Chains A and B, each alone.
Chain A
Amino acid sequence: MAEVSCRKVVKEYEGGVQAVKGIDLEISDHEFVVLVGPSGCGKSTTLRMIAGLEEISGGEIWIGGDVVNDVPPRDRDIAMVFQNYALYPHMSVFDNMAFGLKLRKFPKDEIKRRVDEAARILDIGPLLERKPRALSGGQRQRVAMGRAIVRNPKVFLFDEPLSNLDAKLRVQMRTEIKKVHQTVKTTTIYVTHDQIEAMTLADRVVVMNHGVIEQVGSPHDVYHHPKTRFVAGFIGSPAMNFIPCRVTDGTNGGLAIKVTDQIVLPVPPQRMDRYGKYKGREMVLGLRPEHLFEYHEQGKPNWSRVDLLTDVVEPMGMETMVHFFVEGTPVCARVDPSTHAEPGEMLPLTADLNQMHLMEKDSGVVV
């Protein structure tokens, strides 16, 4: 087991296209780190560089105290789980898991011991003699993980391992992966485009976009304190609402966020200092759907009321999504299912402004 670190790592393809633009990332021992981002953001390329499947164009990658830039994959002591599992179709489950150990000339009884142990952890003991095609998706996933576990490597690498599973199984396997990590405690780097997977699994989430790291932080951090508009929009489902606005003078010497002439929201007192210097500037207001509520008379006094024209109502059971337009910008609110919202009618709303984010219009930096 080991720590992994990327120092100014660059991946440049022929023709000068940079897939990864110099990222720095320190991963400590036993940590579970999830790289998340939209497709093409460089997360898989980063993982494959750590694995040694892609050449590193610039910078250094360290695994367990050694620079591994020039070490071939087999000598990096890593194990990888692929999206399509990459099980050897002609080998039984046992042989699939034993292949790496056999190539490394492990003694027979040691191989058997390790495979049995992994099979016990993953609960696939009865499947050992089967061929991969006789397994279900979830079982294949387990075998792929088993193949990684038996090697007892320094680092586990997961490349979108759950994308080929159906929604229900994905949730189940997610828990499974978490459990395995808690058992074996191997340093794990996990790539996914699914932010829920990232949130649920990670000790630390690394949000990537266009080949750079936007933010590294705990799931709580990236959700509640996003550093950029990209992170704010990418993490959380349904996505955060972004509304163009202007910081103006509010009542009683305070500050206010002016969206339209009718919609002016008072800035909470504890944020006055942070937002003061932006007075008069065009900004973007970020507000998560769950921080928009239906307005009730007995609501908190300082929450101002805004009436909006309801566009679409989507009842989801435990909550109801209501969609509006504010100055042509779509806005979504997650309201109580007992709502009276009807399409085409006005709905009184209010927002928890303690949860608001304000970002610069051009740079997208959250202030």
Chain B
Amino acid sequence: MSATTMEAAKRAAAHSHKSSLHRQRMWALWGSYIALGVFVVIFLVPPFYTLMTSLKSSAEISAQSGNPWIVRSPTLENFWYLITYPNFQTFYFNSVVVTLLTVVISMVISVMAAFSLARMGFWGSQTLSTSVFLTYLIPPSLLFIPLFQIVGAIGMINNVWCLILLYPTLAVPFCTWIMIGYFSSIPKELDEAALIDGAGYVQILVKIFIPVAMPGIIAATIFAFTVSWGAFLYPLAYLYTSNQMVLTVGIISDLIRGDVFQWGKIMAACLLASLPPIVIYAFLMDYYVAGLTAGATKG
């Protein structure tokens, strides 16, 4: 009899142990969710407030009373104002053109270079790979003053096209670095097979490497896009009339006139200007993340 009670006690103990383990796990899980929830709320405060403000009328903002976190009479007047405002249209147009050209130029340069550095090699190509990475570590704030002189010397101060020369320097090093990583991960037998099949180097790059490394190309493209869309220092330093400006500087210099802050319009402009990166991000988040982590995990 004692044996059976012992058995039962053991089983009960085991059972309670199991359920306590289970309960512990549940607590850890819910704790994680709650903590993450708090972080998400904190992280999303600025975008939320931007949205609320953009929906307010000028009157509601200047009244400066009541809860600023909610909008009492939502209106799209700020958005309508911006969409029909020629300067804003110019900023948007400039941003789109500059970004598209930058992305195309950067990707062409980096894909070619990465293929050459990852697979073909020539005298000094190792040094070049290393310098590409070092270039990536040089921030724009180190070079913007000599570049001001250089841009001035070639007569492109206050000319939006100067950005197309300068932005690739921000995007190309990292894009090349990502692409070297992706290209290196392609098995060598693949290009040997292509070589035997009769392909030349250009054919190998175009027909094999680019399609196979498509995720890397997308990640690098997103990076180039993000960098040139959001760059602030170069346009602020080299552009000063509205017709040449891009969104980041245009919003600040055009919508803030002296001491008059049209916050509703500024916030609506911020939203409209953040839209392209957010849309891309929403659809291609995995590539975006891959590009972000590629620098360290691939290289």
Determine whether A and B are in direct contact in the complex, meaning some CB atoms lie less than 8 angstroms apart: yes
Chain A residues with a Cβ under 8 A of chain B = 51-53, 72-74, 78-80, 82-86, 88-91, 99-100, 103-104, 147, 151
B216-267 interface with A by 8 A CB criterion = none
Contact code string B188-223 (vs A, CB < 8 Å = 1, else 0): 011011111111000100011001101000000000
Which of B187, B198, B208, B212 contacts A74 (CB under 8 A)? Answer: B198
Asked whether, in the complex, the Cβ of B208 is within 8 Å of the Cβ of A53, the reply is no
Looking at chain B's contact residues, the main secondary structure is helix
| Residues of B near any A CB (own CB < 8 A) | 187, 189-190, 192-199, 203, 207-208, 211-212, 214
Cross-chain contact A74 with B189 (CB below 8 angstroms): no
B189 pairs with A100, CB closer than 8 A: no
* Cβ–Cβ contact A86 & B198, under 8 A: no
B196 and A89 form a contact (CB under 8 A): no
Cβ of B198: which chain A residues have Cβ within 8 Å of it? 74, 100, 103-104
Whether the pair B193, A80 counts as a contact (CB closer than 8 A) is yes
- From known contacts A89-B212, A90-B212, infer whether A99 and B194 are also in contact, taking CB-CB under 8 Å: yes
Check B197 against A84 for contact (C-beta < 8 Å).
no
Using Cβ atoms and an 8 Å threshold, which residues of chain A touch B199?
74, 99, 103
Q: Are B197 and A100 in contact (CB under 8 A)?
A: yes
Are the CB atoms of B197 and A74 closer together than 8 Å? yes
Q: Name which residue of chain B comes closest to A153, CB basis.
A: B196
* Distance of A67 Cα from B168 Cα, bound (Å): 48
Beta-carbon contact of B195 and A74 below 8 Å: yes
Contact of B187 among A73, A79, A86, A100 (CB under 8 A): A86
Chain A residues, Cβ within 8 Å of B193: 80, 82, 86, 88, 147
Q: How far is the CA of A147 from the CA of B189 in the complex (A)?
A: 14
Shortest distance from the beta carbon of A186 to any chain B beta carbon, whole Å: 14
Among B187, B197, B212, B214, point to the contact of A99 (Cβ < 8 A). Answer: B197
Q: Are B192 and A90 in contact (CB under 8 A)?
A: no
Instruction: Enumerate the 3 nearest inter-chain pairs by beta-carbon distance, A residue then B residue, closest first.
Output: A100-B197, A86-B189, A74-B198
Whole-angstrom distance between the Cβ of A94 and the nearest chain B Cβ: 14
Give the docked Cα–Cα distance between A79 and B195 (Å): 10
Assess whether A82 is in contact with B192, with CB atoms less than 8 Å apart: yes
Please tell me if the beta carbons of A84 and B211 are within 8 angstroms of each other in the complex.
Answer: no
Which among B189, B194, B195, B197 has the greatest number of chain A C-beta atoms within 10 A?
A: B197
Q: How far is the CB of B9 from the nearest CB of chain A, in Å?
A: 45
Partner of A84, one of B187, B208, B212: B187
Q: In the complex, what residue of chain A is closest to B211 when comparing beta carbons?
A: A90
Residues of A within 8 A of B190 (CB): 86, 88
CB contacts (< 8 Å) of B208 on chain A: these are 88
Min C-beta distance of B206 to chain A, whole Å: 12
Q: Known contacts A84-B187, A86-B189, A90-B212: does B203 contact A74 (CB below 8 Å)?
A: no
Contacts A80-B192, A99-B197 given; 4 further ones with Cβ under 8 A? Answer: A84-B189, A88-B193, A89-B212, A100-B198
B176 to chain A, nearest CB (A): 22
Partner of A53 from the list B195, B207, B211, B212 (CB cut-off 8 Å) is: B195
Chain A residues within 8 Å of B212, by CB? 88-90
Contacts of A104 in B (CB 8 A): 198
